[in-house]
Structure 1
Amino acid sequence: MVIVAGHLVVASDQREGYLAGCVRVVEQARSAPGCLDFSITADLVDPGRINIFERWETQADVEAFRGSGPSDDQGAAMLSASVVEYDVAGSRSLT
């Protein structure tokens, strides 16, 4: 399993527009082969932060889904980003 997690920072007055532009990406990811979970969400505390979380069955599934990355408009809106990919060897259910 592969987990992609982190956050982006945009100007707080641009966050809602940025998120609106991500709806189609989330829809596409969730219907992609191997996608177990995919979300791009507003942070509850920081008005400029956008949280990223993805869970994939395999690295090949992640790579097959990935395009060229954010659009030019989205890339220009990002003030900073910290997103990391993790290879997961095991898991335990907490529910």
Structure 2
Amino acid sequence: MIIIAGALYLDASDRDRYLAGVFDVARLARQAVGCLDFVQSPDPLDPTRINVYERWESDDDLHRFRSSGGPVPEAPPLRSADVHKYRIASVEQP
């Protein structure tokens, strides 16, 4: 299993416009083969931050979606990003 998680940063005044611009990306990702979850959401404490969480069955599924030529979002530019890919070897109940 692959998890992509982290945060995107942009001007607070651009956050809602960014999220609206990437709405279709989330919808398409959730319909993609191998996508277990996909969300970009506003952080409740930091108005400049968007939380990113994706969960994929495999690298192949992630790469297939990312290279599918889907919509190019019309979104304001990011100031920075701190997003990482995690390879999960096992899963258990909390």
Structure 1 runs (4+) greater than 6 angstroms displaced: none
Corresponding position of 2:57: 57
Corresponding position of 1:93: 93
Q: Percent identity?
A: 41
Does residue 15 of structure 2 align to residue 15 of structure 1?
Answer: yes
CA distance in 1, matches of 2:41, 2:47: 11
Task: Mark the runs of 5 or more structure 1 residues left unpaired by the alignment.
Answer: none
CA distance in 2, matches of 1:81, 1:9: 6
- TM-score normalised over the length of structure 2: 0.90
Q: Judge conservation of contact 2:26–2:40 (CA < 8 Å) in 1.
A: yes
Corresponding residue pairs, total: 93
Describe how 1:30-45 pairs up with structure 2 within 5 A: 30-45=30-45
Letter paired with 1:13? S
CA distance in 1, matches of 2:2, 2:23: 22
SS class of match (1:77): coil
- TM-score normalised over the length of structure 1: 0.89
